[in-house]
Structure 1
Amino acid sequence: MRGPVTVNGARPGDVLEIEPLEFAPLGWGFTASRPGAGLLPDDFTEAFIYKWDLSTGPTTAFLDIAAVPLQPFLGVMACTPATEDPLPLMPPGNFGGNMDIRDLVGGTKIFLPVRLPGARLMFGDPHAAQGDGEVCVTAIEAPLCGTLKVTLHQGRSIPSPQFQTSGPLRPGIEDQGYYATTGVGPDLLGTARDALRHMIGHLCFTYGVEPHEAYLLSSVIVDLKISEVVDAPNWIVSAYLPLSVMNR
């Protein structure tokens, strides 16, 4: 973590615009699951870790089945909230925090509401790549070097973080389509878990990996999407696997 960084002139009700200009990993990273954490804590009760070689860029290998494109970003961005009570790093709030939004890469503009004089900007939790959901509770956790541009907008107010991307969300990744699994049921969290379980089953059957390996890989490359929430009582969550990253 870095910060808090004071922004001159920032006052409650203003907005900070944060633009990552460039980020690069420093050679290594890891993805891990631990007991009691992640989207499937009851399915995976032992700790597992996978170490990544990030020195070869622009992709990194997962076993012999996938070449994962590196898309570095910071999982934590926040202006300090207006509270005297101690707050844990997780979960995030309307002030920002541990948002883990994988689209906050270089070129994206992130807008944060200012809660205190000086804003007291904080950032950290560097990732080299992540799928939407970060399902095992880690992405490719990796040290990064880079630069942030900070712009103060006075006279503008927003209720929670917002962002604007500079172009397509996953250039070079969507070119070969996706394989998707679904979860269907009356609870979005439950359907997300089912979609992920079905994706893990697909990865194990199709690529010959172990369930814990499929779980870690899903956290890095699989995107969870809310596909349908208008036909009560059942909703649909889908898990998307980009086929362009798979080696076979």
Structure 2
Amino acid sequence: MCQNCLVKTIHHAQHHFGWDNSLVPEARVASGTTLEFHCLDSSNGFFTPQSTAADVGAMPFDKINPVNGPVYVEGALPGDVLKVTIDAFRPSGFGWTANIPGFGLLADQFTTPALALWHYDKTTLAPCAFGRHGRVPLKPFAGTIGVAPAEAGLHSVVPPRRVGGNLDIRDLNAGCTLYLPVEVEGALFSIGDTHAAQGDGEVCGTAIESAMDAVVKLEVVKNMPLATPRFSTPGPVTDHLDKAGYEVFTGVGPDLMTAARDALRYCIDALCREQHMSPEDAYMLCSVCGDLRISEIVDMPNWVVSFYFPKLVLQ
């Protein structure tokens, strides 16, 4: 157990753009150390309050999803588990959401770039206005959080892996404990891609992407079998959205992906028709506050996927 594990800071410049177990650690820490990571947003700071949709196509895709680290945790060996206690997020107050052509669940239907800019109170984290359409409750978390894979070479930070990475799990917020399987000595932990809010599924491919500081404690756990990431939450995970109920749209059929696309598409159609939104605005709003859920997967040959849109966003 670490006897004198003070908070160590990993600054904005101490980041990388892909998983690679040959990277030199930015810090070596004892098990039980608490660290503060000054995380950039997933655009590496490309978008600013002056950005427009015309800038979406110019975003450098070789510089997306920067993650701070890596951090070498003493005593971590392949086969161990890294316990990550998520203590706090300190958001910046500015964020963005984009429809990026070629990216997202309905990429074939949404081919026009779109950009929404968000300005929120970083102290109170009050629901953030989405133009004239509504207000989105915030729930900060890190979309990308993980350790280095055993396979040599540079690996894209975009897809999730058994050692974590771009998990985009909305419920990994402050108070949660995440467990990651270790594949290399020292674990080589990194974190970034911070979000102020996201729906389950992140359906357009982006959330409220927002730079923020993340405070976590890293501990090595021995003799804990773990094949893929596991996490524990301290309480309810949707109470920021539940208060007024939901409008729910279903997709039904033999293919889960098709059913998910259908459920989302029906929700977008309803928002356009009933709230007079543009399709792009509806798509981005669904991505930051709507939840995809598998409602039924046993009554063959058809399965049910539901898309939950929280009513309070539009009140």
TM-score, scaled to structure 2:
0.77
Match of 2:255 in 1: 187
Match of 1:33 in 2: 99
User: What displacement does 1:140 show?
Assistant: 0.2
* Contact 1:25-1:54 within 8 A present in 2 as well: no
Matched, 1:15 2:87: no
Match of 1:43 in 2: 109
User: What displacement does 1:130 show?
Assistant: 0.1
Matched, 1:208 2:276: yes
Give the Cα separation in 2 of the matches to 1:219 and 1:24: 22
Calculate percent identity across the aligned residue pairs.
Answer: 46
Decide which moves more: 213-222 or 141-150. Answer: 141-150
Aligned-residue RMSD, C-alpha: 1.1
Residues 37-85 of structure 1 deviation map (CA, whole Å, 9 limit, x = unaligned): 1000111011111000123632110112221111110001111010013
The 5-angstrom pairing of residues 1-248 of structure 1 reads: 1-55=67-121, 57-247=125-315
* Contact 1:82-1:116 within 8 A present in 2 as well: yes
Give the Cα separation in 2 of the matches to 1:76 and 1:172: 22
Ranges of 4+ aligned residues in structure 1 off by more than 4 Å: none
Higher relative contact order (CA 8 A, sep 6+): 1
Amino acid in the other structure paired with 2:181: P
User: What displacement does 1:155 show?
Assistant: 1.7
User: What displacement does 1:99 show?
Assistant: 0.5
Amino acid in the other structure paired with 2:271: L
Give the Cα separation in 1 of the matches to 2:279 and 2:259: 19
Give the Cα separation in 1 of the matches to 2:278 and 2:112: 13
Residue ranges of structure 1 left out of the alignment (5+ in a row) = none
Q: Secondary structure at the match of 1:139?
A: coil
Residues 80-115 of structure 1 deviation map (CA, whole Å, 9 limit, x = unaligned): 010013311121111111000000000011110011
* Contact 1:76-1:99 within 8 A present in 2 as well: yes
Give the Cα separation in 2 of the matches to 1:172 and 1:42: 32
* Contact 1:226-1:238 within 8 A present in 2 as well: yes
Residues 96-139 of structure 1 deviation map (CA, whole Å, 9 limit, x = unaligned): 11000000000011110011010001111000000000000000
Q: Which has more radius of gyration?
A: 2
Residue ranges of structure 2 left out of the alignment (5+ in a row) = 1-66
